[in-house]
Amino acid sequence: MTRAAKDGDETTIDFIGKKGDVAFDGGTGTDYALTLGSNSFIPGFEEGIIGHKVGETFDLKLKFPDDYHAADLKGADVTFTTTLKSVKESVLPAVDDVFAAKSGPFTSADEIKADIKAKLTEQKQGEAREKLKDELVKQLIAVSKVPAPEILITDQAKSIEQDFERNLTYQGLSLDQYLVAQNFKDKADWQAKEVQPTALKRVQAGLALAELSKVEKIDATSEELTAHINQYKEQYSKNVEVLKQFDDPEVQRDIANRLLTEKTVDLLVKLNQAG
């Protein structure tokens, strides 16, 4: 394509970002696919490509946001030497009966539009329901008289730390990288500001919901528990190691507790709606 790039185009670029005369980590890319207007880069980068043609190499003098997650780049003046290698216009297909037939079990454009509307409505209702649940649990904690033993908070904090570090590992990150990106002074600062408050809330919620389940005589039947375990087994049917865990009595107790919590929260929602 010989015309200049415009907003919405799909481009391929090479770029090298430098702070002063030194290239910074994560600032270099080759044959990078970028849709202009996607806001994938810092402000000014994509806008700076607009107007250039394939084959051009140009410098984009930009400034990183003051709240950027990498401490060494916050508010930094940088230069991206960029080469525009390809430009393709992004053309959306017409939403007609032919498109509908290719997109699923639909026979008309009206059917696919109705399906999208129904799914979006369901998603919004689900988000509203989860928000309501969170608010009702907060209210329950506020009126609960059940104390939160320190030993439970400590155990919960350890569990949160282990799960969090494991998830970071799956993402190819370390805890130290997370601490720097989120502006924590050190691990102790993170524990005090993020881990401990979360652990306290979880313990308080668990105790308050357990007390409510006793008062309301809520229980999880063996049939319900079996159904839940079977759902998990079906979800992880291709992972033999994970499947074995669902036969562990301790794991089953944990699933039973989660099920009981879900039923108790559902009761909170019903009581709120009835009121």
> What is the structure's pLDDT at 110?
92
C-alpha to C-alpha distance for 196 and 2, rounded to whole angstroms: 58
Tens of pLDDT, residues 193-224: 999 999 999 999 999 998 888 888 988 888 98
pLDDT band for position 275 (cuts 50, 70, 90): low
Average pLDDT, the chain: 90
CATH of 130-274, one of 1.10.10.10, 1.10.3120.10, 3.40.50.2300, 3.30.110.30: 1.10.3120.10
Q: Per mean pLDDT, which of 15-19, 109-113, 236-240 is the most reliable?
A: 15-19
The answer to whether the beta carbons of residues 95 and 119 sit under 8 Å apart is no
What is the percent of the chain with per-residue pLDDT over 70, rounded to a whole number?
A: 99
Tens of pLDDT, residues 130-180: 899 889 999 998 888 888 999 999 999 999 999 999 888 888 888 988 898
Domain residue ranges of the chain, discontinuous segments joined by +? 10-88, 93-129, 130-274
> What is the structure's pLDDT at 1?
64
> What is the structure's pLDDT at 194?
95
> What is the structure's pLDDT at 182?
86
> What is the structure's pLDDT at 254?
84
- Residue 64 tokens, joined: 């990183």
> What is the structure's pLDDT at 253?
85
Residue owning tokens 């929602």 = 269
Task: Write a three-state SS string for the chain.
Answer: CCCCCCCCCEEEEEEEEEECCEEEEEEEEEEEEEECCCCCCCCCHHHHHCCCCCCCEEEEEEECCCCCCCHHHCCCEEEEEEEEEEEECCCCCCCCHHHHHHHCCCCCHHHHHHHHHHHHHHHHHHHHHHHHHHHHHHHHHHHCCCCCCHHHHHHHHHHHHHHHHHHHHHCCCCHHHHHHHCCCCCHHHHHHHHHHHHHHHHHHHHHHHHHHHHHCCCCCCHHHHHHHHHHHHHHCCCCHHHHHHCCCHHHHHHHHHHHHHHHHHHHHHHHHHHC
Query: Average pLDDT of 101-129?
Result: 90
Domains 10-88 and 130-274 share a fold: no
C-alpha to C-alpha distance for 197 and 194, rounded to whole angstroms: 6
C-alpha to C-alpha distance for 201 and 179, rounded to whole angstroms: 22
> What is the structure's pLDDT at 7?
93
**33-42, 184-193, 257-266: range with lowest mean pLDDT:** 257-266
> What is the structure's pLDDT at 228?
87
What is the percent of the chain with per-residue pLDDT over 90, rounded to a whole number?
A: 47
> What is the structure's pLDDT at 245?
85
The answer to whether the beta carbons of residues 15 and 32 sit under 8 Å apart is yes
Query: Average pLDDT of 58-73?
Result: 89
Tens of pLDDT, residues 249-258: 888 888 888 8
Residue 92 has pLDDT above 90, yes or no: no
Is 10-88 a domain of CATH 3.10.50.40? yes
